[in-house]
Structure formats: structure tokens, C-alpha cells
Amino acid sequence: MTMPRVAIVSLGGTISMAKKVDAGVVPNLDAESLVTSLPELRAIAEIKTVPFRMVASSGLKFSDLLALREELDNLLKNEVDAVVVTQGTDTIEETSFLLNLTIQSDKPVVVTGAMRDPTTPGSDGQANLIAALRVAVSGFTSGLGTVVVMNDDIHHSRYVKKTHTSNPAAFSSFPLGPIGWISEDRVRIALKPATERFRITVDAGSPEKEVLLFTVSLGDSGRLLGHAGEFGYDGIILEAMGAGHVYPSILDTLEKLASIMPVVFASRTRNGEVLEKTYSFRGSESDLLKRGLISARSLDPLKARILLYLLLRSGRSKEEIRNVFNNWT
């Protein structure tokens, strides 16, 4: 029987941080080192190792991720049956969603990392890597989009969130749960997305865009927001209070900004859909909609920012962007 071919593509992150500098660890293990330290992996698949970046995930840029997308699509088209990406967990909820929206291939794409570095007792990197590889070779996530495997759970990138600073069970897909799990060497998928994967094609040579994420907070004047246009931002994600609420003092600024760029409001609760027509006070969700802002619906601010960035990068107009968000489920 021929073994499935899988590329393990390393970006850095805690899973690769085995070297101490001063008081803490820094990334230094590439994909080949990770695979060599865990010989069981080569009993599961024929592995190609690809050292792609060596950074903490907070240092990743959109240019890195668009280059990663291209690299993964090339590997999936020409060389392998599935890919596993290893990276830092701090931005996994953003990077995996970006891959989900941009990858052209329908073959399995699995992202994993570690909450505890390899020098720490109880480190989870090897367990996560072997679980991710098992998911990749199972083929069960073909056509489902990018998934994140952590702590023996399989999360869909559309929902996954990092919800704890250090606990190995840091990942949640609330209000849903994981779409599946790994038990011993068995991979189980219990849920599948009900809608088609939305795909965006971004030309790597297209002009860079910048999306501001602005959190609305009690007692703030919102002065900074007034300068978003002159600072050169191309779009704004407003992390509004509760169901989509802001203080009245920034309404005129928001209305003006919304006339020149997409301004999308999501909830800083990071849970639940922003409302449309329940409240009508000044600064309520219905007021924001009347003033031309766009609802992020059920997308949390971080996912909404990735979607808005990609839509801007792909050259969509404000009305086309509004349409995408309005039809989002």
C-alpha cells in the first residue's frame, strides 16, 4: 500500500522553541528537526519537510501568509496529498481563517502548534503534531477547508479562537464545539460546515491594504478614530460594545468614515451575532446601520478583519464588501 504524502511546513512558534535566550525560549526548530525528534511520524506518512519561516506568530505579516498560501497550493497541486502547518498559537485563529478563505485546493490543510514549549514538562507539541498528521492523512477534512488541531480536538478555522494564555486546552469554537477529535490513532469528524467555503483570490502583486481594529471602550473620546482616514487606513473593524453599540460622541466621525471606506462593526464580546433592529438609541446597532456601517454579523472582530483585508486586497468595492458581509452566515 502506498503511503500518503504530507508536507509539514514550519513557521516557528512555541512548538519550535527549544533554545533559551536570556530568560526565555525563542524559535529554533524547523520542520525537519520537529520530524526527526518524533520518528513515529514517518510511520504514518511519507513526509516532506518545508522550513518556511522561523518566527513567533506575532511577527507574521500578511505578505508571509499570502506567500504561504501560494506555497501550500503548489505543494498540494504537484507533490503531496495534504499539508500540516506548524506555527505559534497566538495568531492561529487569524492565519488559519486566512488560509481557509484563500487556498484553492480542496485537499486537507491542518494547522497546529503548542502551548508549552519542548523544554517544559508536559509539552504538547509532539502530541499535537502527531494528531495533526493523523487528521491530514485521514482525508476526512478534504473539502472542509482549513482545520486547527490542538489538544486532540479538531476545530474549524471559521470558528476557532484562542481563549487562554497558557492552558493546553486554550482553543474553543464557541458557540459550536470542535468539529471532531482524535482518540488514539482514530480521527473522528462529527460536524461539517453547512455552507460552501467562501474563496477569495488575491493577486500577491496587488496594493497592500491596512485595516484598523478599534475597540470601543467606556469613557474613551474616540479621538484617535477621527484620524483613521489621514493615517491611510483602507477599512475599519469597530469592536463595538455588546450587540453593536458605541458612545454617541463618535457617531459623526463614524458616519464620515463610512462614506469613504468600509467600516464594519463586530462585537467586543466575541460571541453571538451583532443585532440589527432591537435597539434604536443613538449609537445603537440600528443607528450604525443607518449611518452606512456594515454589520459583521456572527464574525468576531479578528475574523472580520481578515475577511475585510482580503476583500480589500482582492479589489472589491465598498458595496461588494457590504454584500459579502450581509450574506455571511
Catalytically active residues, by annotation: 14
Write out the binding residues for ligand SIN, residues 135-174 only, by CB under 6 A.
Answer: none
Question: Nearest approach, Cβ of 115 to ligand SIN (angstroms)?
Answer: 5
Could you give the C-alpha distances from 190 to 110, 155, 247, in angstroms and in order?
Answer: 17, 11, 42
Q: Is 112 in the site for ligand SIN (CB under 6 A)?
A: no
Q: Is 56 in the site for ligand SIN (CB under 6 A)?
A: yes
Amino acid (one-letter) located at 214: F
DSSP 247: -
Residue range at the interface with ligand SIN (CB under 6 A); choices 84-92, 129-137, 188-196, 274-282:
84-92
Q: Is 57 in the site for ligand SIN (CB under 6 A)?
A: yes
Query: Which residue number has the CB closest to ligand SIN?
Result: 88
Q: Cα separation of 8 and 31, whole Å? A: 6
- 88 or 244: whose CB is closer to ligand SIN? 88
Of the candidates 8, 80, 84, 88, which one interacts with ligand SIN according to CB under 6 A? Answer: 88
Q: Is 115 in the site for ligand SIN (CB under 6 A)?
A: yes
- List 122's β-bridge partners, or say none: none
Q: Cα separation of 229 and 315, whole Å? A: 18
Q: Is 13 in the site for ligand SIN (CB under 6 A)?
A: yes
Number of residues counted as binding ligand SIN (CB under 6 A): 10
Cell of 325: 458581509
- 10 or 14: whose CB is closer to ligand SIN? 14
Cell of 204: 500577491
In this structure, are strands 82-86 and 109-112 parallel, antiparallel, or unpaired?
A: parallel
Residue range at the interface with ligand SIN (CB under 6 A); choices 53-61, 100-108, 194-202, 241-249:
53-61
Q: Is 89 in the site for ligand SIN (CB under 6 A)?
A: yes
Q: Cα separation of 289 and 287, whole Å? A: 5
Torsion of CA 179, 180, 181, 182, to 10 degrees: -130
B/e letters for 277-301, b = 16+ CB within 10 Å, e = fewer, are: eeeeeebbbebbbebbbbbbbbbbb
Residues whose CB falls within 8 Å of the CB of residue 199, separated by 6 or more in sequence, listed in order: 101, 102, 103, 104
Question: Nearest approach, Cβ of 137 to ligand SIN (angstroms)?
Answer: 24
- 89 or 138: whose CB is closer to ligand SIN? 89
- List 241's β-bridge partners, or say none: 245
Question: Nearest approach, Cβ of 92 to ligand SIN (angstroms)?
Answer: 8
Of the candidates 10, 14, 151, 298, which one interacts with ligand SIN according to CB under 6 A? Answer: 14
Question: Nearest approach, Cβ of 54 to ligand SIN (angstroms)?
Answer: 11
Q: Is 113 in the site for ligand SIN (CB under 6 A)?
A: yes
DSSP 290: H
The residue ranges that bind ligand SIN (CB under 6 A) are 13-14, 56-58, 88-90, 113, 115
